[in-house]
Amino acid sequence: MGKTLTQKILEDHCEEKDLAAGQIIQCRVDIALGNDVTAPLAIQAFEGLGIDGVFDPDRVVLVPDHFVPNKDIAAATQAKVMRQFARKYAIKNYFEVGQMGIEHALLPEKGLVTAGDVVIGADSHTCTYGALGAFATGVGSTDLAAVMATGRCWFRVPEAMRFIYHGKRQAWVTGKDLILHTIGDIGVDGALYRAMEFTGEAVASLSMDDRLTMANMTIEAGAKNGIFEVDETTRAYLEGRALRPPRVFRADTDAVYVEERDYDVSKISPRIAFPSLPGNVRPVEEAEDIQIDQVVIGSCTNGRLSDLRVAAKILAGRRVHPDVRLIVFPATQEIYLNALREGILEVFVAAGAAVSTPTCGPCLGGHMGILAEGERALATTNRNFPGRMGHPKSEVYLASPAVAAASAVTGKITHPARVAGEESI
């Protein structure tokens, strides 16, 4: 029986052969990731084993990003636990404030993940690396501890759903809009326990940044992982960056998918996820005139350079609406530096935006942009659960950076074409 792309990668990483969906396997793990919220619990569990080191110090990656720069003493203590662990076990892939980034933007940028990898991370958005043709999935802290000790992780071989995108995208429509549309179509548990495999000419035309955005949000449909086929865009991205050679796997032509969805992207306009589920998705045309108090541009979903470029294109020569706070978070130090050199950060500051150092802060209601009761935000992040960004009675709408920038100018949710014309960049 034919295998899916996900099954091919898993089979390459385990002893078992002829995998079938539902089977439990033990896989070799290429990269294991933790952050300042999840690593301290993993470290506690790891230290209880009484062994003298991690399975491979070069394959463990630790990134303080959630509550850094340390927001309070408790956060500082957690970051310190992780820093000391990294020193104790000579983990060189620990990224200090000033060199770090939001983990899921940072790992691809640093070339730590490559095509064909099996990656686990104690963070649900670890699925982001599927954009590179890797199998990547989120786990908990105890699973991370077990992998740090053994280099292996158990998985249930997932069934797969195939998503085929064809046609030409409308102006201002990005990977964010395609994935929001898809989650809106299948629901927040529409891919529960499954792999989401993306294909079709309309995804082949997407940039790596757009693919990373799409894979990032597959967890919002309940998926185990999301994955793209390796093509020229992938190779160009990995070239000169990936620290290990890419390994390219392909789905069998007779691979079995439990479900297939076909989308004509020419019919998809910018999309908005309404409170309080990422699957509560409607076209921007049905959201216009909703007033907002805060706009957040950034996160592991949409804080990459091309995201900032689109936002700057719309904000150039314009002002943020006086009733709106616009907060921009470049996702990594490198993105920050490049945005600085390109003049993008100047555009933001001149428009009246606050520009922050990289952090997950506001996305999860941690710090740097918390909402009060009754306030409403439009964010380029990935979740809009009740209270996600602050008070339990605050609201979050999710959208692309283009919609976010246009909305910051008008003070209400707005199609980018209304502010910046019919031609997108």
88 lines the binding site for another protein (CB under 8 A): no
133 lines the binding site for another protein (CB under 8 A): no
Nearest to 207 by CA among 180, 181, 244, 176: 176
Which residue number, 36 or 177, has a Cβ lying nearer to another protein? 36
Give dist(CA 297, CA 327) in Å, integer.
6
* Residues 166-195 as x/- pattern, contact with another protein by CB under 8 A: ----------------------xx--xx--
Nearest to 297 by CA among 179, 181, 377: 377
Burial letters 157-194, b for 16+ CB under 10 A, else e: bbbbbbbebeeebbbbbbbbbbbbbbbbebbbebbeeb
Residues 328-387 that bind another protein (CB under 8 A): 364-366, 383, 385-387
The region of 63-71, 163-171, 255-263, 285-293 touching another protein under the rule CB under 8 A is 63-71
Nearest to 135 by CA among 27, 2, 4, 9: 9
Interface pick for another protein out of 1, 20, 51, 372 (rule CB under 8 A)? 51
Edge-to-edge order in the sheet of strand 31-35: 60-63, 31-35, 118-121, 135-138
Please work out the total of residues on this chain that contact another protein, with binding judged by CB under 8 A: 57
The region of 47-55, 292-300, 306-314, 337-345 touching another protein under the rule CB under 8 A is 47-55
Tracing tokens 């892939």 back to the chain, one arrives at: 93
104 lines the binding site for another protein (CB under 8 A): no
138 lines the binding site for another protein (CB under 8 A): yes
The region of 34-42, 233-241, 302-310, 416-424 touching another protein under the rule CB under 8 A is 34-42
Helix axes 305-315, 401-410, angle to 10 degrees: 30
Q: What is the largest CA-CA distance in the chain?
A: 62
Q: Shortest distance, CB of residue 139 to another protein, whole angstroms?
A: 6
Which residue number, 130 or 365, has a Cβ lying nearer to another protein? 365
56 lines the binding site for another protein (CB under 8 A): yes
State phi, psi for 77 to the nearest 5 degrees: -65, -40
368 DSSP assignment: S
57 lines the binding site for another protein (CB under 8 A): no
- DSSP for 225-258, written as a single string: EEEE---HHHHHHHTTT-SS--------TTB--S
Which residue number, 150 or 269, has a Cβ lying nearer to another protein? 150
Q: Shortest distance, CB of residue 338 to another protein, whole angstroms?
A: 29
Q: Shortest distance, CB of residue 392 to another protein, whole angstroms?
A: 5
The region of 68-76, 267-275, 327-335, 371-379 touching another protein under the rule CB under 8 A is 68-76
- DSSP for 261-289, written as a single string: EEEEGGGPPPEEEPTT-TT-EEEGGGTTT
Name the CA radius of gyration of the chain, rounded.
21
Which residue number, 154 or 291, has a Cβ lying nearer to another protein? 154
| CA separation, residue 365 to residues 96, 137, 138, 396 (Å) | 22, 23, 20, 11
Residues that bind another protein (CB under 8 A): 24, 28, 37-38, 40-41, 44-45, 48-49, 51, 55-56, 66-67, 71-72, 74-75, 77-78, 121-124, 126, 138-143, 145-146, 149-152, 154, 156, 188-189, 192-193, 219, 222, 224, 277, 364-366, 383, 385-388, 392
